[in-house]
Amino acid sequence: MEPFEPDDAGETEETLDEPGASQAESEPAPADESVPREFAAVSSDPQQYDKAFERADDEEEVEQPQPKSEFSYIAPTASTRASTTWIFLLVLLALLLSGIFFLYYQNFRAQPRPPTAKQAAQEYMLALRMKQETTRQQLATPDSRGLLLPAWFIISEALVTSVAESGDNKATARARITLAPVRSIDLQRELEKAASSEYDVEFTLERGAEYWLVDQRSLFSSLSRRLKAQNPGVGFPTWDGVSE
């Protein structure tokens, strides 16, 4: 008997041995045309893939809006406060200078001179009683300015009783002065008693160019003599600039 051979055996061998068939099976399938080329190129290279994402991140950071600075709201407030502080300081300085000028104008300016001897004596006694040293010195003759009262008594009352003018630009005034002792533990009893009384004094005035001035030396010398006359045996302190 003849051996049985299938009809398609030859075709099977030819199919297996055909080189074209092997290459067809080993080659990959063609890329899908629907995928973008840029994405396919990046996907095929890992380094390019990372760079693409880094570039995308940078673009997102650039496009992200930056928050507004809060200092734009604080700066005007600080500037306004500084301006208000400077304005307040300038106003305070102006008030201080005005006060100093007013004080100087009232106490240190040249006072109007009295035209008569009686007015000069009255204004001087008022300044002496009110302890207005600047005004008192301005109403005194040039050679008697700067004389001060002793430290152990003050003048509480001073009243001009009479003023007589003479023809040689001089005048004689009389006044009653009430003393008060200065409260101090060091003040002697005799001095305290002497400073608790009234004294009649006499002093002279001199006429200047257009006004009258008081000779303080004559006034204080008269008061010193009255003190010793009414209080015999009492040792009085030295009165600087006053002759006995």
Cα–Cα distance measured from residue 85 to residue 45, given in angstroms and rounded to the nearest whole number: 68
pLDDT in tens, 149-206: 999 999 999 999 999 988 788 999 999 999 999 987 788 999 999 999 999 999 999 9
The reported pLDDT for the residue numbered 167 is 77
pTM above 0.75, yes or no: no
Nearest Cα neighbor of 239 from 214, 212, 220 is: 220
Q: Is 198 helix (H, G, I), strand (E, B) or coil?
A: strand
pLDDT of residue 48 exceeding 70, the answer is no
pLDDT in tens, 83-141: 788 888 888 889 888 888 777 665 555 555 567 999 999 999 999 999 999 999 999 99
The reported pLDDT for the residue numbered 76 is 54
Nearest Cα neighbor of 207 from 174, 161, 172 is: 172
Residues whose CB is less than 8 angstroms from the CB of residue 216 and which lie 6 or more positions away in sequence, other chains included: 140, 141, 144, 145, 147, 203
What does CATH list as the number for 117-230? 3.10.450.50
Q: Is 223 helix (H, G, I), strand (E, B) or coil?
A: helix
Q: Give phi and psi for 20, each to the nearest 5.
A: -65, -35
CB 202 within 8 A of CB 217: no
* Bigger pLDDT: 104 vs 27: 104
Domain boundaries, the chain: 117-230
The reported pLDDT for the residue numbered 220 is 97
